[in-house]
Amino acid sequence: MSKQALVERFFEVLISGDRAGARAIVEECIDADAPADQIIEQLFWPTLSHIEQLFRNDQLSVLSHNCATRLLRMLTDQMQMRLPVGESNGKSVLFLCGLTEPNELAGQMGADLLEAAGFGVTFAGGGVANDEIVSTLSQAEPDALVLFSSVPQDLPNIRVLIDQLHDMGVCPKLQIVVGGGVFNRAEGLAEEIGADVWTDSPSGLVATLNNKSEQRMGADQRTVGRRRRQGRAA
């Protein structure tokens, strides 16, 4: 069965709230020796993206959307336990996201895959005040700050936070990474708000923070905001 057909099957059982059916599809993947990171990247992630696209376009009811995201959250929690424990690479990440359930779910997938790749990850989710974020960054001095959002309502606060970090000179070597649907749908947005990198997939996020070669920087990621940081410091 093709990956697309599998995603379509998975989507149908999720929106119907078929818990047994959803578990059965995941078990099929496990029985076929698909690694946990591949299941997250190639099944969970595209299915969640499809659910969110339909919901934004009013093509999915609130009931179906809630059933799908809550069920997928349960499966993501279970799949995290199957991920390998990566050898530490000495890099640390503070990971935040928007307030919605899909934002939290997508953020969790990204955080789980980063941890499996050897990063030390603090996943704080959504709803954290900017002054708490700045204080945490000042004390912990992580290598990267990941800000994930799929909705435009989060952008003003993200913009204020990035400006605050630049103006105050907090963690000057910090790599600010943004991701999520809102950045994918608006070309140039990540650069305009002053982020260093944007990425649109979990594999792109891991590759970005692993400092992969330029050949990976295509559909998954873009280096964007360094000119703005240099300009502000001049």
Residues 128 and 223 in one domain: yes
Taking 90 as the threshold, does the pLDDT of residue 216 lie above it?
no
Taking 50 as the threshold, does the pLDDT of residue 175 lie above it?
yes
pLDDT score of 1: 58
Q: Is residue 85 part of a domain?
A: no
Write down the mean pLDDT value for the chain: 86
Strands 175-179, 120-125: pairing kind: unpaired
60's CB contacts (< 8 A; 6+ apart) are 15, 51, 54, 68
Residues 143 and 48 in one domain: no
- With CA atoms as reference, report the closest residue to 146 among 183, 116, 186, 187: 183
Strands 144-148, 120-125: pairing kind: unpaired
Residues 120 and 220 in one domain: yes
Report pLDDT digits (tens) over 122-155.
999 999 999 999 999 999 999 999 998 877 788 8
Residues 124 and 96 in one domain: yes
| Last residue within a domain, chosen from 26, 47, 80 | 80
Residues 140 and 181 in one domain: yes
Residues 124 and 189 in one domain: yes
Q: Is residue 86 part of a domain?
A: no
Taking 50 as the threshold, does the pLDDT of residue 228 lie above it?
no
Residues 199 and 124 in one domain: yes
CB atoms within 10 A of CB 150: 24
Residues 56 and 153 in one domain: no
Q: Is residue 222 part of a domain?
A: yes
Residues 111 and 209 in one domain: yes
Report pLDDT digits (tens) over 151-166.
778 888 898 999 999 8
In angstroms, the CA 43 to CA 10 distance is: 8
Q: Is residue 87 part of a domain?
A: no
Taking 70 as the threshold, does the pLDDT of residue 212 lie above it?
no
pLDDT band at 89 (very low <50, low <70, confident <90, very high): very high
| Last residue within a domain, chosen from 19, 48, 80 | 80
Residues 157 and 187 in one domain: yes
Q: Which domain holds residue 200?
A: 92-233
Residues 113 and 229 in one domain: yes
CA angle centred on 51, ends 62 and 1, rounded to 5°: 135
Percent of the chain with pLDDT over 90: 60
- What is the tally of structural domains in the chain? 2
